[in-house]
Structure 1
Amino acid sequence: MSRLNQRQSAPSSRSHRTSRRERTLAIEPLESRQLLSVVGAQPELRTAPAITAQPPDALQTAAEVVGAGVLSQSSLAVPPLSSNPDATAKIYLDFDGHFESTWGTYSGISTPVFSLDSDLTSFSTSEIAAINQIWARVSEDYAPFDIDVTTIEPASFADKMGLRVSIGGNGSWYGSAGGVAYVGSFTNYIVNTVYIFPQQLANSAKYIAEASSHESGHAFGLRHQSRYDANGTKTEEYHTGDGDWAPIMGTSYYKTRTTWHNGTSTIAATIYQDDMAVISNTTNGFGYRADDHGNASKPTPLVFSGNTATASGIIEKMDDQDAFSFSTTGGSVTITQNVAAIGANLDSTLELRTATGTIIASANPSTSYGATITASLAAGDYTIVTASAGQYGSVGQYTVTVNASTAPANQVPQAADATFSIAENAAVGTPVGTVTATDADSPAQTLAYTITAGNNAGVFAINSASGEITVANNSALDYEATSKYTLTVEVTDNGTPNLSDTATITVNVTDVNETPLLADATFSVAENAAVGTPVGTLTAADPDRPAQTLSYAITAGNPSGVFAIDSASGEITVADNATLDYKATSQYVLTVQVTDNGTPNLSDTGTVTINVTNINQAPVLADATFSLPEDAAIGTPVGTLAATDPDRPAQTLTYAITAGNGAGVFAINSASGQITVASNSTLDYETISQYVLTVQVADDGTPSLSDTATVTINLADVNEAPVLADATFSLPENAAVGTPVGTLTATDPDRPAQTLRYAITAGNPSGVFAINSASGEITVADNSTLDYKATGQYVLTVQVSDNGAPSLSDTAAVTVDVAPMNRPPQIVTVGEHWAVKGEQLSFVVSAFDPDVPQQTLRYSLEPGAPAGAAIDPVTGLFSWTPDSSAEARSYTVDICVTDNGTPPLADVVKMAINVAEPLGAADSRSLLDVPAAESHWYALSTVREGFLTAEAAYAGTGSVSMAIYDDQGQPLASSTGSAGLARIDIPAAAGEAFYVKVATTASAVDLSLANLVSQAGGTLAVFGTGADDAFTFDASGRRISINGLVYQFTAAEATNVTFDGGPGNNAATLKGTADSETAKLYPGRADLQGAGYEVHVVNTASITFDGNGGADQAYLNDSDGDDTFVARLGDCMLSGVSSAGIGYSSRALNVARVNALGKAGGRDVAEFHEFAGSTFVRRGSFANLSGNGVFYEGKFFEETLLVTLAAPDDPGGSGGKTKTPPGKSQTLTAAEIALIDQAIVEGAPGAAKALDRDGEAACPPGLLRMATARVFAELGRSA
């Protein structure tokens, strides 16, 4: 694979080894470029490389550096080096030591002079070589950008101007780091300094240069290039690179080639950082370096010295191409392209093309970054194209050298750039300057000059022979329009072939003062204008840029000094109004001069016409008085006003009412001045007897002037009708004759008021009512027909009349409502309510009033209500919270409601409130004592879906009744005790609330409440209480019990029964049928399988299975602790304690076959009692023991299995006879041996031991009866 292919196959997102630790500054220039506070923030730092062996010698000799194109300097001072002197932005490599008073959150930072030998007074040859190499490497890294890497201290370190790289010391003020920088400090308020600590970098010039480029990158806004795995997890904070390459913003110490990179940044796996784009962005301000050579379409001609031509340049971007052209008379040509000798970033390609663009040869070697082409060429023109190999960051400096076997027939002339200047008012033909060019041919050839670009409007011309530039068209020569021209001048020789070069000629146009311009103007001013009145402002225009200062002056047309002008602003004002008279002079024509402050002063004049305007005089209007009756019709004339106008000719006058015309009573003719009635609805003598109007008269002069007059209008009184309002009254249907009903009061608008008379004119059949004609009082006149049910309402017509001339009247409708007698209110049945101790009971008592309309009701509690009980008198809201000391019984509360009738009436009802004892959740069986001859209430809730069981047991005389209610107090079930027991079972949902009532007559009651059984999907689930519970299951009777509570069920209701004892020392008894069942008992749990049912028990220490006859089987399984299996006819038990310390017992009664398993571990014991004809077999560590339907299979753990076989009359067995003392031995009798049909021991190692529970007795080895001895070990005998 070629080197190019290897580079192309490298991943695009490389990461960096974590050899530079970053402390994040609170500045994110890549995102918002917002300058945030750095208080408490930490700068990014670059740690020293991990050096496990001596690093390669990076300090090249001075001669080597000079050979790479770096200046050789004295060992006594820092060499003055500069990579791009014309660039505005600078990277200053500071080797002289530096002090910084404040840097971010740090202060008083001293950097010592760069030193490799601890001599801080001068630089040695090695130190100068190191400085040259550091500068060369950093210059190569920043070669693509328009920034100068220099050792010459710049004039400014302002943002976007200068960055100091302070190189020296070990950075002890900061810690262990190779370098440190604030991200984005080149453009924010942090001091533009980064620090490099050579002593942390093994004083290696390469390491110092790598750190300098890296930390400078941070100052320009770069973060680290990092690596991530497929899951997005960061695996390298610092990208360590691939092969011989690493990114500058990763770990580049150990690689021969380092470049900028476009890959995943330290921020996140999904965020890429394009290093070169960040450095060159507008935030930093310097961008890329200008392209120094054209591409193949415009190559740079090579200049030969003899047979050799050399050119150098920079590939600024990956897509940049630099091209060079040359001519040859034919022969061999060798073209060599070299990259930077130290720290090259550029991997280059080289092409040789014909003048028409055909590629003749190319080079892109895989073993070097430069390239060489050797070719034999025919005579002609050729182009060399050099470019980047294409990888990201493959940019930098290069040198191209051409060695030809024969010198070129013709060499390119060389034209020099130049800058000239010309005044903007230069005449046509004025010389501008002469372009100079040289020709290397000998003898020199004839050169011809032409302007090829930048000569807009043909402003300039050039002498083709001499190169002199002159003004050709001065009409467009204007400093304010174009202050600089950039011309491209081509110089061409007359060789074969013709060769040419171009030069950039800058012509700066110099400014020349130009005359300001002042336009004529016309203004007007009133003849009575006061002194200082503004007339108008003149504004002159100055074509100069920047515009000059202008001054204004009146030079003519201003007799008597009537006007003045502000010399700076050009504002004209009235200076003397004594002679300002329209009749004397109606117009002034002024001459105004404006002068600039140029050299020389130039001026312009303008004509200003000022027209004097005539003054209008106000008309005169006299006051007037008129009268009219208050009942005048609309349009009735009131009077006419006549104003006078002193102007001649008299002007047109307009009249208007401006004040005193409330409600628009009057109108005025605007032309004639006649006043008429406009609205008579409010024309009322009694309300307003006189109107005083303000009338304005205005002329039509300019400006319009006016006068006002007061017009008085007196109203004459006219008789008016009285006014009587409708009214409504009420009286009870049993009102007596003479009872007042109500009084009417009419109003008379006349002043003074007239005498009024009242009369009922309609609506009074049978003369029920009468009215007092003078006072207007209505009374009952005849109550014989006053009946609410017959006539609930009377509507009377009443007339009131005045004594005016003529007499006037008004009528009104008077409604008399007949009210029925008051009736008592009624309380709606409140029923029975339930309360719980400590919980508030509240409900609303409702009542209604039969009266129409209903009266206002108020609620109250009668004496004897429980302490703390209350009722809202308005809403009827009853509330009571029984305290914990209250009795759990029924209380009676009397509730009263009263109306506000006359007289007030009331209703009282009795309400029962049952107070219950709170029991909480009925998860377990609750045992409560109910005293004799009492009633008690209880409140509880269930914890699971299943059954709520209430059982009341009593002894003695009397009776007991029990009932369960829902949480609304509705009855669900009840029971009356018989035979000393009352019981209720009801289904319940989880969390359902209930009330329970128990009442006794003579005997005390033990009340049990439980929620331990649930039934769902054919499964009956039983739960323990958390204490010591006893559970039984009887398959024959389909019956279970828990702690004495018995439940009966059918096969249709459940075929599966479970019991979970939970915490506590629980016991379970499982009784089978006469059929065959299988029971499997384990420590703490059991499974029973029968015909049509199964039972599962968990969390139960003691479990007993009673087979109850039939071919039953029981499996008893041991624990991993020390267990004991005791077998007797019909009764087998396996018990013990597990290694966790949990005890258990598993018992099988009346079972045809018992299988006991002792395989889980521990020191187990097996005892067979009352058996004859048993079998014991041992094979290795396993033992099988059986007899009479009992089977035991165990495993020897450390030879600790103890087996006992005893006959019914065995004195060492169940008979309890004292066993043989320790150390004694007995000989087995024939009867005892006959107890065992077969005893086999296979592979028993060594001497056997007859073990008993009191000690040990030796048994001779090699005897078959060893097994028998072990079987009878408990008897202490040998066999």
Structure 2
Amino acid sequence: MDAGDTLTFSIGTGSDVVAIDPTSGVLTVSGALDHELTPTVVVEVVVTDLAGLDARETITLTINDVDEAPVIAAQTMHIDENSVITDIVGTVAAEDPEGAAISYGIISGNAAGVFAIDTATGVIRIADDSCMDFETCTVTYALEVQVTDPSTQFTSAIVTVEIDDVNEDPSIVVGSSYNIDENSPFGTVVTGDAIGVADVDAGDTAAYSITDGSTVLKIDETSGVLSVNDSAGLDFEGIGDVTVEVTVTDSGGRSDVAIVLVTVNDMNDAPEITMGTSYSVPENSSPTPVTGDLPIVTDEDVPANGLTFSISGGNDPVLFAIDSGTGALSVTSDLNHELVGSYDLTIRVTDDGTPVEFAEAVITVDVSDVNEAPVITVDAAGYTVPEDAVVDTVLTGAAPSAADPDVADTQLWTIEGGTGAALFGIDPATGALDVAGALNHEAAASYDLTIRVTDGGTPGLFDEKTVTITVSDVNEAPVMTVDAAGYSVAEDAVVDTVLTGAAPSAADVDDLDTEAWTIEGGTGAALFGIDPATGALDVAGALNHEAAASHTLTIRVTDSGGLFAEETVTITIGDVNEAPVVTADQVFEVPVDAVNTDTVADVEATDVDDGDVLTYG
């Protein structure tokens, strides 16, 4: 060891329950020593000089065993309410450090003697179960438990016992009577006290349910109110009174059950009506029954109610009637398929119960189509056509037409008779009338005609009308007749001498026509005249056979309508022997020595008559 060195002591490794004085090296206890846990303690002692050099030594310390009091800590135990005598609360946790047997005892907090403790095991049990109700009794006990070892050393601690709340069965509460009218609507509340519950568990909620029995009722889960679930099934005649099992369940899952009888009150039931699938009636057939099945009515009421049938809808205006006793339908007015093809009728059956009940069903009555005759419309003023109209000329007037309620029907037009049946035609598709033959106003000023239109229905129906056709008069040219042999007149005829020959004449089919005769031309136009009223020809100038042995003459006859006829006639000028003519103022010279028989000169004379031989004297 170096003189003058200072040594310092310290603990190197080992237990932290031992300390060393750094100067003196004295070991002291610095923590709790427990022989039972650590009977020896090993520490490393380090001594260090000023130069920092050290020496180390391991020391083993023996911990001497000392008798100690048993150990018990404060603790809490739980037990359910309603526990009974001998039920175990729990075992007190305690021990002796030396492992010796200890004894247990409750020294305070158990004045009522509710608990007992096994002195050898520390098991606490129920000793008095008369007040083990969480809701009404003490629920927390502070028991002071003392533990003692064989050397009579003891320790105590508080053992808290908690009485725990346990969910207890609810108790269902039902009224004395319940009833409901049959057929009540869904949700109708059953008459009677609401079903309730008694539950000692504070704060528990209850849920109601129907767990068995009829399904026609339901229960409100929260309020316990019974009401209708199935109106149709709530039938007095079918099920009578209703029994249901009601279960109430608290929030802890505990439940109670009660059987509830609900009286179903008998009420007047509405009848039920079933109609057929098909109803029909022909149009235009009133009065007549409607074809179809009679209503089938059921009424559950016993005894059965009286029933009355009526039409409650779709019959405005009133077109149908119903037998109030049988429900048989009939038609009261003619129906028209083309206007309305079907009708929707509401059929009602009403009972005589209290209150009165009824049922309704809607049916469709089809109006079947019946072939109906077409109806002809003709021009009220009749028809006209000029007499000179050619074949196929359409008559004047609104063409015949036919209205047929059966819109799909085809139409065929024909002429069935009448005075004009052979002279007129008709368009078979349209009914238009036209000319089919020669017409003559003077022969017949009008005709009647029977026309028919036939539809394409089954059977084919028709309509006929007789119309009057007026043939209007048309001015027609006169027809002239002259003497085929011609006309003649002597050349010496004086003015106004009527020519020889049949006088010209004119035929005019127009009864009221007047005629005017004129000369329109010809070589003799200036030499002849014509009677304007009769057509007679006469001489109007000097004629000369020798100058012209004949003349042509164009004559015209004009009717009062301005139409005319012309003919050219030949007029022969008859030769008449005429006196020769001696040239006047002829002067002759006679020689003085002329003797008898000498020719003095030729006397000049002319004769217009060809071939005439002149003699002189």
**Pairwise TM-score range, normalised by the shorter structure:** 0.3 to 0.5
Larger of the two Rg values belongs to structure:
2
Does 1 or 2 have the higher relative contact order (CA < 8 Å, sep 6+)? Answer: 2
TM-score after normalising by structure 1: 0.21
Give the TM-score taking structure 2 as reference length: 0.37
The answer to which structure has the higher helix fraction is 1
